[in-house]
Amino acid sequence: MPKFMDIHRNMKGLTADQLREAHQADLDIQGEEGVTFEHAWADTDSGEVFCLSEAPSAEAVQRIHERAGHKADEVHQLTLSV
Amino acid sequence: MPKFMDIHRNMKGLTADQLREAHQADLDIQGEEGVTFEHAWADTDSGEVFCLSEAPSAEAVQRIHERAGHKADEVHQLTLSV
């Protein structure tokens, strides 16, 4: 299953609770698109959130994020990994 | 120890060997700055490389990348993680 890194920008000041709730909203529906979100990290100073997932496609990742209310700004398929 | 995600852009067409060599060049000297690179992923279509690390500071991460010959375009401290 391909891996993906997606980026959400302009999330400056995000709290731990907000990140946890947003991530949970993804987890709650991810199975409907065959997506598995593995990790989410945030730089709360500059406002980026990074999500690592396994999914059938970038579109599946984005559909889950959109339905959960937080569309990603970039979704990258990770074609190489070390 | 804080975690960091750094991004290298404009690496379109990067090969698996090139990524492995670049990552190894970081690993070879990371101890001199107290950095531990945990993972590197690349989107070879759009040209981004993402590196996840533990380090004392963003500057320490950048110093290793610069000395290894591949300065990062962004270095983000991951203040939240889920």
For the four alpha carbons of A22, A80, A32 and A60, in that order, the dihedral sign comes to positive
Beta strands in chain B (DSSP E): 3-8, 36-43, 48-54, 74-77, 80-81
CATH superfamily of domain region B3-38+49-78: ORF SCO4226, nickel-binding ferredoxin-like monomer (3.30.70.3090)
pTM of the model: 0.96
**Complex ipTM tops 0.90:** yes
Domain range list for chain B: 3-38+49-78
Option in B40, B42, B78 nearest A41 (CB): B78
Q: How far apart are CA B58 and CA B66, in angstroms?
A: 12
pLDDT in tens, A48-65: 999 999 999 999 999 999
Average pLDDT, chain B: 98
Backbone angles phi, psi at B40, to 5 degrees: -135, 135
Map residue B13 onto helix, strand or coil.
coil
Best residue of B6, B21, B41, B57 to probe chain A, by most A CBs closer than 10 Å: B41
pLDDT in tens, A11-33: 999 999 999 999 999 999 999 99
Phi-psi group of B27: left, alpha or beta (phi > 0 → left; psi -120 to 50 → alpha; rest → beta): alpha
